[in-house]
Amino acid sequence: MKGEELLRDNYCFVCGKENPKGMHLSFERGEGKVYARFSLPEYYQGYNRIIHGGIISLILDEAMAHLQTLKERFLTGKLTVKFHSPLMADEEVEVEAWIEEERRRFKITRAVMRKVKDGKKVAEAEAVMFVVREKE
């Protein structure tokens, strides 16, 4: 990505508030982690009332991307997702993401999605995030 900037335009499909077809999820920071709590409607299903695995992967990836800072932007280089249990439409979940390992040019990040009702793990992910530093 040499010579290119990563610009924020508030149009991200997952978190962008200006994207009319987006999910509009909000992520919070705390204790070195990123969190989001939400439920998804049937619109995001694969099989009857079961949220599509690609949507779950998308959200886990986005949570890990939200670990970036104002001086660093993350680009996903590799994403590995392990699914544990189905997520049903309208079932409330929480996503939590954190940085597992930091290097100068990349970060190893992890995220987990759990059902709020019983804490059951829906899915977990690990990503290699390439770091693009902002020019000062």
With b meaning 16 or more CB within 10 Å and e meaning fewer, what string describes 53-86? Answer: eebbbbbbbbbbbbbbeeeebbeeeebebeeeee
Decide if pLDDT at 8 tops 70. Answer: no
Whole-number mean pLDDT of the chain?
90
Decide if pLDDT at 107 tops 70. Answer: yes
What DSSP letter does each residue of 39-76 carry, written as one string?
A: ---GGGBSSTTBBPHHHHHHHHHHHHHTT--SSEEEEE
Query: What are 31-69's pLDDT values in tens digits?
Result: 999 999 999 999 999 999 999 999 999 999 999 999 988
CA distances from 132 to 15, 17, 124 (A): 20, 24, 25
Cβ(127)–Cβ(109) under 8 Å? yes
Q: What pLDDT does residue 3 have?
A: 44
Percent of the chain with pLDDT over 70: 90
Average pLDDT over residues 16-22: 79
Decide if pLDDT at 80 tops 70. Answer: yes
Cβ(13)–Cβ(25) under 8 Å? no
The strand pairing partners of 28, in sequence order, are 35
Decide if pLDDT at 99 tops 70. Answer: yes
Q: What pLDDT does residue 1 have?
A: 45
- CATH classification for the domain delimited by 29-133, as one of 3.50.50.60, 3.10.129.10, 3.30.70.890, 2.60.120.620: 3.10.129.10
Unique residue bearing structure tokens 């335009």: 9
**What does pTM read for this prediction?**
0.90
Residue of higher predicted confidence among 45 and 132: 45
Average pLDDT over residues 97-104: 94
Residue of higher predicted confidence among 13 and 2: 13
Q: Report which residue type is found at 33.
A: K
The two beta strands, 33-38 and 106-115, are unpaired
